[in-house]
Amino acid sequence: MNYTPHTARDIEHMLGVLGVSSVGELFAPVPESLRLKNLALPHGISEMEAVAFVQSLADGIREQGAVASFLGGGAYDHFSPSVVDAMISRGEFFTAYTPYQPEVSQGTLRAIFEFQSMICELTGMEVANASMYDGASALAEAVLMAVRMNNGTRVLLPQSLHPFYRQVVATYVRGIGLELVDIPWSDSGAVDLAVLKRELTAQTAAVVVQNPNFFGVLESLGEIGDLVNQTQTAFVACVNPMSLSAIRPPGDFGADIVVGDGQPLGLPLSYGGPYVGFFASREAHVRKMPGRICGETTDVDGVRGFVLTLQTREQHIRRERATSNICTNQTLCATAVTVYLAAVGPQGFREVGELNWHQSHRALHALTALDGVRQKFSGAIFNEFVLQTDHKASEVLAALRQQGVEAGIDLGRFYPALENCILTCVTEKRTDADLDRLIDAWRAL
């Protein structure tokens, strides 16, 4: 099956216009030596067969899968109201291109403008862009922007930053030769402020803080802000946006750049993507920001309209002097986040935040009441926490899986010193019955 509508008559007519006898002649510029004799792919199939194939994949996941999952670690299983997928499934949204022609792209542009506004509201920041690829690349671009702001040569990264995010930052900064300095965690699980203070030199381009951090622990943004805001160093915060329903945003503490991944706000897990990065900053720095930005203006009749703006920062104008090479981003995912936030509103957002807070704390209290199960870190958490036992996490998790529960992430995968630790996430979607199943499984070990 393919999607070409040409009949034999159409082709004959078109070849007649071109004055050639076969379509093959149109490939004459390709030297014979480069012609592919045989494309090593199977025959095409019908839609019915294709659907059966993907259904078999889905069946495979379901048959192997756990009954209840408590995985987080940068990707979260939250509830998404039906209107979210319904709206982004409109062909006028998902089959449109980047809004280069604003007169025929006002829908996409307005959705982006609303997205930018909502990200500013959530993060407490002044300006936001139209989106980045994901949380990790948004953080990497934030570090690059910090260097544009102050020409620093090193960046402080907490060891409690998501390990994948750290790897992405390292890949992005290799071209400019930035030094990465690891800041350890303290007993609370939060950044060790004494080390941070010591490493905060005049050459430091950025201090990065993840909130909550990879261990689910909430950082003391106020104290970090107090340290960094007196310097030229940029204060870069990477936040889980769901936490901003209940936790004060980095904008309140003087952050210069706030980034994160919008996945928790209405996007499916989808084995890691597509998600959407968000990127917010201060008005004073807007011309140093990467990515597309939508702005409000008027048309020749004075009617309100929206356009992509401040484009002299971007690759299609500035080429090798652009602030980033990003062009296509994750607009449809940003639209989903926008519809999600409009659907939950301030009251629904508060409710879902409280549900995350209380369900996760109820699970934490019940589990740490069991013999041999301890909370690893003393710091406050939002919806994820680290449990420690006397046994290898990989073995404990395998035993819990036997009972149909995917109880968390083996932190030994990322930190050898934490091989007895498990990162467990409890979102609003984990019901009381799910919690009972988790607690019963632990108790049966």
Partner 1 sequence: MIGEKLIFERGAPGRRCATFPMAVDSGAAIPTTMRRDIPAALPEVGELELVRHYTALSQMNFSIDTQFYPLGSCTMKYNPRVHEKAARLPEIAGLHPLSEDAQPALRVIWEMEQVLKAISGMDGFTFQPAAGAQGEFVGISLIAAYHRARGYRKKVVLIPDSAHGTNPATAAMCGYTVQAIKSTARGTVDVADLEARLTDDVAGLMLTNPNTFGVFEDEIEKIAALVHGVGGLLYYDGANLNAFLGQCRPGDMGFDVVHINLHKTFTTPHGGGGPGSGPVGVTKALLPFLPLPVVAKKGGAFHLDFDRPQSIGKVSSFYGNFGMLVRALVYAEMLGAEGMRRTSEMAVLNANYIAAKLHAHYDRPKNGQPMHEMVFSASRQKKANGISATDIAKRLIDFGIHPPTIYFPLPNVAPETMLIEPTETESLEQLDVFIDAMIRIAREAEENPALLKDAPHATPVRRLDEATAARKPILRWKRGATATAVQKP
Q: CB 216 → partner 1: shortest distance, Å?
A: 13
Helix (H) or strand (E) holding 168: helix 163-173
The two beta strands, 277-281 and 257-261, are antiparallel
In this structure, which amino acid lies at residue 12?
A: E
Write 365-374 long-range contacts (CB < 8 A, 24+).
366/435, 366/439, 367/424, 367/438, 367/439, 367/442, 370/439, 370/442, 370/443, 373/442
For partner 1, what does the binding mask look like between residues 270 and 289, x meaning CB under 8 A? xxxxxxx---------x---
Query: Which range of residues in 69-77, 147-155, 183-191, 196-204 is near partner 1 by CB under 8 A?
Result: 69-77
CA atoms within 13 A on the CB side of 288: 19
* 168 belongs to the binding site for partner 1 (CB under 8 A): yes
What the block records as the tokens of 107 is 């829908």
* 60 belongs to the binding site for partner 1 (CB under 8 A): yes
CA atoms within 13 A on the CB side of 404: 9
Positions in 189-248 near partner 1 (CB under 8 A): 218, 220-222, 244-248
- Name the residue with tokens 């709206």: 87
C-alpha 97, offset from chain centre: 22
* 113 belongs to the binding site for partner 1 (CB under 8 A): yes
CA atoms within 13 A on the CB side of 113: 18
* 301 belongs to the binding site for partner 1 (CB under 8 A): yes
Nearer to partner 1, 26 or 444 (CB): 26
Q: Are 385 and 218 in contact (CB under 8 A)?
A: no
Mutual orientation of helices 331-368 and 106-123 as an angle, nearest 10°? 30
* 50 belongs to the binding site for partner 1 (CB under 8 A): yes
Q: From the list 158, 216, 225, 249, which residue makes contact with partner 1 (rule: CB under 8 A)?
A: 249
* 2 belongs to the binding site for partner 1 (CB under 8 A): yes
Query: Which range of residues in 197-205, 303-311, 369-377, 383-391 is near partner 1 by CB under 8 A?
Result: 303-311
Q: CB 168 → partner 1: shortest distance, Å?
A: 5
Positions in 374-393 near partner 1 (CB under 8 A): 380
Q: From the list 8, 39, 417, 433, which residue makes contact with partner 1 (rule: CB under 8 A)?
A: 39
* 87 belongs to the binding site for partner 1 (CB under 8 A): yes
Q: From the list 151, 201, 230, 297, which residue makes contact with partner 1 (rule: CB under 8 A)?
A: 297
Task: Count residues near partner 1 (CB under 8 A).
Answer: 202
Query: Which range of residues in 151-159, 190-198, 332-340, 369-377 is near partner 1 by CB under 8 A?
Result: 332-340
Q: CB 202 → partner 1: shortest distance, Å?
A: 24
- Name the residue with tokens 């932190």: 411
384: helix, strand or coil: strand
Measured in degrees and rounded to the nearest 5, phi and psi for residue 376 equal -70, -45
Q: CB 420 → partner 1: shortest distance, Å?
A: 18
In this structure, which amino acid lies at residue 302?
A: G
Q: CB 56 → partner 1: shortest distance, Å?
A: 8
Q: From the list 21, 42, 390, 433, which residue makes contact with partner 1 (rule: CB under 8 A)?
A: 42
* 158 belongs to the binding site for partner 1 (CB under 8 A): no
The two beta strands, 409-410 and 421-425, are antiparallel
Positions in 422-441 near partner 1 (CB under 8 A): 428, 432
For partner 1, what does the binding mask look like between residues 342 and 371, x meaning CB under 8 A? xxxxxxxxxxx-xx-xxx-xx--x------
Q: From the list 226, 299, 436, 440, which residue makes contact with partner 1 (rule: CB under 8 A)?
A: 299
Nearer to partner 1, 108 or 420 (CB): 108
In this structure, which amino acid lies at residue 352?
A: V
Dihedral (CA of 354, 359, 362, 364) sign:
negative
Q: CB 184 → partner 1: shortest distance, Å?
A: 21
* 388-420 burial code (b ≥16 CB/10 A, e <16): bbeeebeebbebbeebebbbbbbbbebeeebeb
Cis peptide bond N-terminal to 212, omega within 30: yes
Cα 159 to Cα 192, 193, 222, 282, 411, distances in angstroms: 10, 13, 19, 27, 13
Nearer to partner 1, 78 or 156 (CB): 78
Positions in 117-136 near partner 1 (CB under 8 A): 117-118, 120-122, 126-128, 130-131, 133-136
* 335 belongs to the binding site for partner 1 (CB under 8 A): yes
Q: From the list 181, 269, 399, 439, which residue makes contact with partner 1 (rule: CB under 8 A)?
A: 269
Q: From the list 68, 137, 142, 421, which residue makes contact with partner 1 (rule: CB under 8 A)?
A: 137
Q: Are 218 and 380 in contact (CB under 8 A)?
A: yes
Query: Which range of residues in 158-166, 180-188, 196-204, 368-376 is near partner 1 by CB under 8 A?
Result: 158-166
In this structure, the number of other CB atoms found within 10 A of the CB of residue 315 comes to 16
Query: Which range of residues in 167-175, 183-191, 192-200, 224-232 is near partner 1 by CB under 8 A?
Result: 167-175
